[in-house]
Structures are given as structure tokens and as C-alpha cells.
Amino acid sequence: MKTRIIGTGSCLPKTVMTNDDLSKYMDTSDEWISSRTGIRERHLAVEETTASMSIEAAKRAMENANVTAAEIDLIILGTVSGDFVTPACACEVQAAIGADRAVAFDINAACSGFMFALNIANAYIQAGLYRTALILGAETLSKIVDWEDRSTCVLFGDGAGAAVVRGDENCGMLSFDQGSDGAKGDVLACPGRANNNPLIKADQTPRYVHMDGQEVYKFAVTTVPASLQKTIEAAGLTPADIDYFALHQANIRIIQSVSKRLHVSDDKFPISLDHCGNISAASVPILLDEMNRKGLLKPGMRVALSGFGGGLTWASAVIEW
């Protein structure tokens, strides 16, 4: 039994903020941002929430998969920017789509969140516990980045992506690799709220995402190709056998470095970061949905997916479409 992606969906907020628009709010430029990152614009939530975008992405994925809410056994949503601490965003999605039978929960694996959700769903499906799962990555990063820190806020955007997966005898996930390195957690972090119980005089200054960009870069360009190589070998394939690589969309330079290290042409690495920026857990499923809706993905094609980010965490998979 393999875990097969049978439908995809995504949702981006209506409001687009270009690099030139950003330069009206801070000392930056399209030249600085696009030359270092490949990002030209991102969508920012104004009326949208993490839940509202997730619900829309879920509905589109279910329609694409031709699956009804009653068929969904499991909903797993990767996010670091849910609207509530509780209930989980996955539970909000469950209620909105009416998937009454489903078990729903969120996970936090930062930019690897969708990939971790995929592997958890795979494990449940392999164990025979569930047949059909809705997996999502969704973020409103614009509420957790520091808009006074031009070195981070220009990198990120908001949005949600979803996929419906189901056990299938013939095709689906061929191999998987995932890992974590908590000792390097401070390289990319966002502290939560401080404790303000009566015994503590906590500093309640808002706490935002901070990162050591160059350390993140080093981590990504070593760990991601190694993880992909391992996953591709485990599927009995070589990088040349892979039709497309759908990577977390952090930075064009990271993606180009991975393509070089694997000796695979850039053309096999579709991009959404130019119009979305980095949307953490949402970036892989949004990219996958764009590829699916453009008709790039044909039955039998092999697609390698990889997410990497805060934790630190990483995860790759090879899927036969």
C-alpha cells in the first residue's frame, strides 16, 4: 500500500505587496530583495486568517480529488502561525468542511510542517488505521515577523496549501527521509509569549521571528541535497530519474545550489517564491498545487519534495504521481 496524493488546493490572500511597495514602508529596494532571494512580491493577509485560507485550500483540494468531507478520516495541519493556541487550526478546518468523522490536529515543524504532516498521514495509512487524509500547511507569517527588521520581514508571505492523500495499491510515496537538529534551534526562531503569572515580572515586548540568514543558508545547502539524495536512492532511483523537484521556497540561491549539487537542471525546480515569498509550511503544498493546476504533473512522473527550516527540521519524499 502506498500513500498517494489524489488532489491539491491552495489559497493566497487577495492583497499583493511588491518589493517596490515595501520600499514605501522601509529602507529597501526591489534590487536588494530580488537579487538576493528571487522574491518579487508576496501576498499579505488583511481580511484573511490562517483558518480562512486553510478552509479555502482544503475545499479546493477536496474538489480536485473528488472526495467528500464524509470520506476524510484524518486532518493534519502544519503551522507556526495559527489563529488560536487552541482550538487547533485543523479543528477549525474540520468544522468548516463538515468532516465530522475526522481526527484533526496541528503540528509544528516550521517550514517542514507539510512534509511532516505527509509522513504522519503515511504512517497512519501504512498502519491501516486510516484511508483518506487531508494534509495542509498554512501560515499568516506577517503577524509574527518584525516589520521594523528589514532583513527578515521582506522574505515572508501568507497563504495556505492542501493535499488529499489516500492509500493506493499502485502508485504514491516511494520513499521518505526526515530529521531534526534541536541543538541548532536558535538559528531560526520565534519566541512565544512570556509567562506573566503573578510571581514573574515578565518583559511583554512582542517577540518576533529572528534568524541567522547565513547559518540557515549553510544548513539548507548541505542538508537538503543530502536528504534528497538519500530519499531518491531509497526509491531505487537517481536524481536524473526525477521529473520535478518541489522544494520549500525560501530563497532562489538555495534552490540553485541544490540543483547544482544534485547535477540536475534548474528547469526541474519549479518556483513560486517569486510571487509568494517564503510561506514556511505552506510553500511546498502551494507549489505542488500550482504545478498540478498547470498540468505539469502526469501519471507515472516522479516528484521529489523537500521541506526544511526552523527546529531545525527537514523532510524529503519521492512520489510517483
Which lies closer to ligand ACO via its Cβ, residue 15 or residue 257? 257
Does 265 participate in binding ligand ACO (rule CB under 6 A)? no
Q: Which positions from 105 through 144 interact with ligand ACO, judged by CB under 6 A?
A: 111
Query: So which residues are the catalytic ones?
Result: 111, 248, 278
Binding test (CB under 6 A) with ligand ACO, winner from 179, 217, 226, 233: 217
**Distances, alpha carbon 266 to alpha carbons 143, 251, 283, 288, in Å:** 33, 14, 18, 17
Which lies closer to ligand ACO via its Cβ, residue 87 or residue 213? 213
Cell matching residue 72: 476524510
156 secondary structure, DSSP code: B
Torsion of CA 220, 259, 303, 109, to 10 degrees: 10
Binding test (CB under 6 A) with ligand ACO, winner from 15, 18, 28, 108: 28
DSSP string for 126-153? HTTS-SEEEEEEEEEGGGTS-TT-HHHH
Does 36 participate in binding ligand ACO (rule CB under 6 A)? yes
C-alpha–C-alpha distance, residues 240 and 222, integer Å = 19
Query: Considering only CA atoms, which of 261, 273, 196, 211 is closest in space to residue 36?
Result: 273
Does 308 participate in binding ligand ACO (rule CB under 6 A)? yes
Residue nearest ligand ACO, Cβ-based? 213
Q: Which positions from 53 through 92 interact with ligand ACO, judged by CB under 6 A?
A: none
Q: Taking the complex as a whole, how short is the minimal distance between the CB of residue 18 and ligand ACO, in angstroms?
A: 13
Does 284 participate in binding ligand ACO (rule CB under 6 A)? no
Residues in the interface with ligand ACO (CB under 6 A) total 23
Angle at 287 between CA 286 and CA 288, to 5 degrees: 90
Cell matching residue 146: 518584525
* Residue 158 φ/ψ, nearest 5 degrees: -120, 155
Q: Taking the complex as a whole, how short is the minimal distance between the CB of residue 222 and ligand ACO, in angstroms?
A: 13
Would you say the C-alpha torsion 224, 227, 230, 233 has a positive or negative sign? negative
Binding test (CB under 6 A) with ligand ACO, winner from 35, 68, 151, 238: 151
Residues 165-204, mask of contacts with ligand ACO (x by CB under 6 A): -----------------------x----------------
C-alpha–C-alpha distance, residues 84 and 90, integer Å = 11
Interhelix angle 283-293/50-65, nearest 10 degrees? 40
Question: In this chain, which stretch among 48-56, 57-65, 147-155, 222-230 interacts with ligand ACO, using CB under 6 A?
Answer: 147-155
Binding residues for ligand ACO (CB under 6 A): 28, 32-33, 36-37, 111, 150-151, 154-155, 188, 211, 213-214, 216-217, 220, 250-251, 253, 278, 308-309
